[in-house]
Amino acid sequence: MQWYAIQDILFKVIGGLGIFLLGMKYMSEGMQAVAGSRLRKMISAVTDNRFAACAIGTLITGIVQSSSVTTVMVVGFVNSGFMTLMQSIGVILGANIGTTITAWIIALKIGKFGLPILGVAAFFFLFSKKERVRYTAMALLGVGMVFVGLNTMGGAFKTPEVNEALRQAFAVMDATTLLGVLKCAFFGCMATMIVQSSSATIGVTIVLAQGGIIGFDTAAALVLGLNVGTTVTAFLASIGTSTNAKRAAYAHIIFNVVGTLWLIPFFFAYVKGIDWVFVHVQGFMTKSSEMSDGITVKIALVHTGFNLINTIIFLPLMKPLADLVTKLVPEKKVDEINRLTYFDIRMLDTPSLGIVQSKEQILFMAESIEKMAGWLGEVLASKEQLDELEKKIFHYENIMDNVQKEIVVFLSEMITGQVPHDVMEEARRQMRMADEYESLGDYLVNVLKGHVKMRTNQLTMSEEGRMELLNLHQKVATYIGMVNDAERSENIDILGRAQTDSDIITSQMKEYRRLHLLRLSESKTSPLHSLVFTDMLNNYRRMKDHALNIAEVIAGEK
């Protein structure tokens, strides 16, 4: 074969695969943007009901068009404490069904309309001013690119000599024996691990089968292997995460590996069953004229059937599976704090879902501030030195700094791409909230430092001053709790009450300062003690101000 002919084939395969993958990305991003609010509601609705969690996992993956993205997202949610292990297993089972939709999209008999769809969608995407129209066009643009990419790859294999050469090259992967099935499954697994996209592997498999380069049995065996290969993405995402996040990734691996291994001995019976199903539904497909050639439909049936059967088997076994991964990944000896320790870059491909995870971290910061305020209240009220609580407060303040930094970095990277307006606004809102909560942590620590400074310099606080400080602390802590409750319940009517209570706290702080200065003038307190005490009062006022800023953000104020 001439070098220029080989070069032409390589260019078509590489270019076609690139267009196909980019099309999958555009289709996914467009559908996410259009269905963004619904996706967030689905995630929030995940419960311990295994059937509901499985259904939600199927729907989300059907929209996102990638089980890898869904499983990475699930690992992230478990790591942040947003999702429990049982909930994550249910979503992962559903994700394996949802990912099979890719093959059915390819099976649609609209390949010849790929270019027109791409062209029309491109005009709407480039020139439409309405966001919803643009993102709908983006999804259709992706659909067009998927078919153009497949046709481009398929065109490279149509030359008789090329077709024959490829047949000989792929002859080593003949799934007519059990050993051949294992070889094909292994090859499909390795190929998916390398490209980290089951959609790419199944797209190439379908093109090879359509060209007659590989038989249906070989294609079916490759499909089994890609289900194992796709687990590597979740495994990589679990590195450096919490114990439960690792357990979720291991549950995904066990589900896909065991599901593949048990089916291999029954592979030939399973393939015959798929042939039987295809024969009995072929009449309907022919009449509706909505399906492509038979080999593509049969591959789609293999993929869907495999994951449906395994999901039906594993749904009743979710609890034993959770117990197994709990034994495989035991609890760490040190206490873990749910927080952002790892954000996989793939989460940036799903901004409509990634924003849910960062929102959970905002709530974690709110909860941490409440804990710090509670501990500080105990420290101030006690006449003894509470070293453990003081260390906890300082430790949590460091955690708050890290979480704020990770949220801001993640959201900053997220909003640089194609992001819907509502996600952009929510990202900016969350960045401001993270800054406010981090500042609250700083001022809580400043009060503690003032308390430590008094103790170090052996400054005795008068009983009146001590009661005033405790009263102010209680009012500010209650105020912060009220604002945090509004954030949890998304109560946008909080601002009126927040402003009223803010004015009360300000008046109270001024009164306590006046009383303190009166005691200073009467020489009932020392000047150094006065400096520390008034500084502590000012820190409480700043806390109240930051809490009011949070209330303004919740209410939608700029």
Which of 293 and 84 is assigned the larger pLDDT? 84
With beta carbons less than 8 A apart as the criterion, state whether 387 and 397 touch: no
- In this predicted structure, what is the pLDDT of residue 473? 92
347: confidence class by pLDDT, cuts 50, 70, 90: low
Which of 351 and 342 is assigned the larger pLDDT? 351
Q: Is residue 558's pLDDT more than 70? A: no
Determine the Cα angle at 78 with ends 76 and 80, to 5°.
70
Kindly state the tokens that stand for 187.
Answer: 């090859």
Least confident of 55-69, 216-230, 294-308, 359-373: 55-69
Work out the average pLDDT over 518-528: 75
Q: Is residue 65's pLDDT more than 80? A: no
- Is 335 buried (19+), middle (13-18) or exposed (0-12) by CB count in 10 A? exposed
Q: Which residues are CB-neighbours of 470 under 8 A, at least 6 positions away?
A: 377, 380, 381
Average pLDDT of the chain to the nearest whole number = 83
With beta carbons less than 8 A apart as the criterion, state whether 435 and 442 touch: no
Distance of alpha carbon 373 from alpha carbon 473, whole angstroms: 8
DSSP string of 77-137?
HHHHTSS-HHHHHHHHHHHHHHTTHHHHHHHBS-GGGHHHHHHHHHHHHHH---HHHHHHH
Phi-psi region of 386 (alpha: psi -120 to 50; beta: other; left: phi over 0): beta
352: confidence class by pLDDT, cuts 50, 70, 90: confident
Q: How much of the chain, in percent, has pLDDT values that exceed 90?
A: 22
Nearest to 305 by CA among 273, 262, 337: 273
Which of 315 and 78 is assigned the larger pLDDT? 315
296: confidence class by pLDDT, cuts 50, 70, 90: confident
Q: Is residue 343's pLDDT more than 70? A: no
Total length of the chain: 558
Domains recognised in the chain with CATH numbers: 3-325 (no CATH), 350-555 (1.20.58.220)
Q: Which residues are CB-neighbours of 315 under 8 A, at least 6 positions away?
A: 50, 51, 54, 93
498: confidence class by pLDDT, cuts 50, 70, 90: very high
Work out the average pLDDT over 142-151: 87
202: confidence class by pLDDT, cuts 50, 70, 90: confident
Distance of alpha carbon 443 from alpha carbon 446, whole angstroms: 5
pTM: 0.71
- Neighbouring C-beta atoms of residue 60, cutoff 10 Å: 27
Distance of alpha carbon 547 from alpha carbon 441, whole angstroms: 11
Residues 226-243 have pLDDT tens digits of 888 888 877 877 777 778
- In this predicted structure, what is the pLDDT of residue 120? 92
Q: Which of 199-213, 256-270, 288-302 has the highest mean pLDDT?
A: 256-270
Work out the average pLDDT over 88-115: 83
- In this predicted structure, what is the pLDDT of residue 340? 45
Query: What CA–CA distances, in Å, run from 70 to 67, 130, 314?
Result: 5, 28, 19
Kindly state the tokens that stand for 175.
Answer: 């799934």
- In this predicted structure, what is the pLDDT of residue 339? 46
Determine the Cα angle at 219 with ends 215 and 225, to 5°.
150
Q: Which of 63-77, 159-173, 199-213, 423-437 has the highest mean pLDDT?
A: 423-437
Work out the average pLDDT over 347-357: 71
Q: Is residue 289's pLDDT more than 60? A: no
Residues 18-51 have pLDDT tens digits of 888 888 888 878 887 787 777 777 777 777 788 8
Nearest to 208 by CA among 169, 250, 249: 169
